[in-house]
Amino acid sequence: MHKTSVQIISLVVVLVVGFFIADYFLFDGIAPREIHTEGIQGKYFSQASVEKSTTVMLLGGGAWSEYWALEFAQHGWVGLSLPYTGKKGLPQLPEELDLAYFETALTWLSKQPEVDANKLIVMGASRHAELALLIAATFPNLVDGVIAYAPSAVVWSNTVLAYNSDELKASYVYQGKEIPYLSMKKIQGNNVDTLRTLNYWNEGLSKTEEAERAAIKVEMINGPIVLFSGEEDQVWPATRMAKQIEKRIAEHQFSFPITHISYPKAGHLISAHPEVSASVRTGKLTIKGKEYPYYYGGTVAGDDYAKSDAKKRVIQFLQDL
């Protein structure tokens, strides 16, 4: 969600993630291939014998994306872990990101011998899920479905992230034009002890007309959609936004199934590593030099069940394509 929370989660899971990945490599001999071509960067996971197989592009890079990409390769599919900020040669901040980067990555993927270009899925969590839905809606000729954990129904402005620049900007652009966004003031800590980030996002969604203009045109997606949300998510209103996506789909002619699974005792950490129990229940966000805690929501048991159940559903979804 926020850069600081990602760092915290990474500290908690990095050793365990490393163990799982190392174990997979040693057991099955599947090592990622580093991709540096046509301006894109990533790690490409595939068994050597695979041809024309279901493929998932995982947004954000890092431990979560690489875990899933490797998991898919274990099943005989293809996974591409795709970072898009923070690395040399990529934008340093997630603002005014050109969707052409993802168009290039999808086009490149579709040409690989291991990839079935008619079974190309985009997957992300939290703001990466927002982007996954936007990419699928923007490039329906290249994407055949979406898996979104803790999704967003709208495109948000750059200012929702505390570490982005202070100037209001579009988060995404394409062909020289801004993607319409819901403009937000930067979250303020002021004199509170704990941030209530859920209130911040809900207040943004209450700007009905602007939220409608910023709504992701999910009805343009050319394939099935799977959404996972925690009903006790205290970071942002994932279940509310998933229901907004369902409502929008229902209001349009949509030829594919949409599935939303919401978990009553789960919070935002359903979007964390599926194999790691998240005992840390709060994140930290630095605003103007002061560090504020905020709640992820849900319970450890609720998150663990949701992640386990969702993983089974993801695998089944891909098997049924």
- What is the C-alpha to C-alpha distance for residues 295 and 279, in angstroms, rounded to an integer? 12
Per-residue pLDDT at 278: 84
> Is 0.85 topped by the overall pTM?
yes
Nearest alpha carbon to residue 80 among 51, 117, 103, 109 = 109
Residues of the chain with pLDDT under 70: 1-29
Domain regions of the chain by residue span = 3-319
10: left (phi over 0), alpha (psi -120 to 50) or beta: alpha
The residue behind tokens 């099943």 is: 75
Instruction: Supply the mean pLDDT for the chain.
Output: 91
DSSP 108-176: HHHTSTTEEEEEEEEEEETHHHHHHHHHHHH-TTT---EEEES--SBPBPGGGSTTS-SS---SEEETT
pLDDT tens digits, one per residue of 221-249? 999 999 999 999 999 999 999 999 999 99
| 288 dihedral zone (left: phi>0; alpha: psi -120 to 50; beta) | left
pLDDT the model gives residue 11: 38
Q: What is the rounded distance in angstroms from the CA atom of residue 271 to the CA atom of residue 274? A: 8
| Tens digits of residue pLDDT in 182-192 | 999 999 887 78
pLDDT attached to residue 292: 93
Q: For domain 3-319, which CATH number applies: 3.40.50.360, 3.40.50.1820, 3.40.50.10800, 3.30.365.10?
A: 3.40.50.1820
Strand ranges of the sheet holding 177-178, from the earlier edge strand across to the other edge: 97-98, 172-174, 177-178
Instruction: For the chain, give the longest Cα–Cα distance.
Output: 59
Q: What is the pLDDT of residue 118?
A: 98
Residue 90 burial class via C-beta count within 10 angstroms: exposed 0-12, middle 13-18, buried 19 and up: middle
Residue 244 CA to chain centroid, in angstroms?
17
Between CA 303 and CA 116, with CA 270 as vertex, the angle to 5 degrees is 135
Residue 100: helix, strand or coil by DSSP? helix
Given CA atoms 229, 230, 231, 235 in this order, what sign does their dihedral have?
negative
> What is the rounded CA–CA span in Å between residue 157 and residue 127?
11
d(CA 128, CA 203): 21
Residue with token string 């068994």: 47
Q: What is the pLDDT of residue 269?
A: 97
